[in-house]
């Protein structure tokens, strides 16, 4: 069974290319290690045509869906994943906070955060399992800590 990670992180107020770059980097590293990746930006390449940051009615108009549909897909993805990877732990976002809390509190999923600025906040510290300085460090932690390639060691030999 393959492991699955949901890529969380701030989209609002950012240009598509900026958010997509870090998600692409994380995806490549995770795929190399045998993870499946659920990225809420998948299928949203049309947003790269926006002349302003991803926010508001123009974003949903371009996507041709309602805000409720966007949230529902993200919630479904969080329920399906094994772990949530927050790519923008140093940049506050309502959406990221909701995803983080939903994963940790409702689904009891581990949360790994890229960025250490939020690690001193009581809520962030309580609901995150690990704070990494880089995407590479976060993926290394995920692959080591959440490795499913273990085998039982029995008393009758290796």
Per-residue HEC secondary structure of 84-117 comes to EEECCCCCCCHHHHHHHHHHHHHCCCCEEEECCH
The pLDDT value recorded for residue 158 is 47
Q: Which of 74, 70, 136 is nearest to 107 (CA)?
A: 74
Architecture of domain 3-145: 3-Layer(aba) Sandwich (3.40)
pLDDT of residue 38: 96
Q: Name residues of the chain where pLDDT drops below 50.
A: 151-152, 157-158
User: What span, in angstroms and rounded, lies between the C-alpha atoms of 119 and 123?
Assistant: 9
Q: What does the pLDDT read at residue 15?
A: 80
Can you give the pLDDT at residue 157? 47
Cβ–Cβ under 8 Å, residues 85 and 108: no
Say which residues have a Cβ less than 8 Å from residue 64's Cβ, sequence separation at least 6.
none
Rounded CA separation 86/130 (Å): 10
The pLDDT score that the predictor gives to residue 125 is: 87
Candidates 144, 42, 35, 122; CA nearest to 82 is: 35
- pLDDT at 4 (0 to 100): 94
Would you list the domain boundaries of the chain? 3-145
């Amino acid at each position: 069974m393959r492991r699955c990670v949901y890529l969380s992180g701030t989209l609002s107020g950012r240009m598509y290319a900026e958010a997509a770059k870090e998600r692409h980097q994380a995806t490549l590293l995770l795929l190399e290690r045998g993870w499946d990746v659920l990225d809420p930006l998948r299928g949203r390449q049309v947003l790269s045509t926006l002349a302003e940051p991803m926010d508001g009615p123009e974003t949903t108009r371009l996507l041709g869906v309602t805000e409720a549909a966007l949230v529902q897909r993200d919630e479904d993805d969080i329920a399906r994943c094994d772990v949530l990877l927050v790519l923008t732990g140093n940049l506050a976002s309502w959406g990221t906070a909701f995803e983080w809390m939903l994963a940790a509190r409702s689904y009891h999923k581990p949360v790994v955060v890229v960025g250490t600025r939020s690690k001193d906040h009581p809520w962030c510290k309580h609901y995150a399992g690990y704070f990494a300085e880089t995407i590479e460090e976060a993926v290394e932690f995920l692959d080591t800590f959440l490795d499913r390639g273990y085998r039982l060691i029995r008393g009758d030999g290796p």
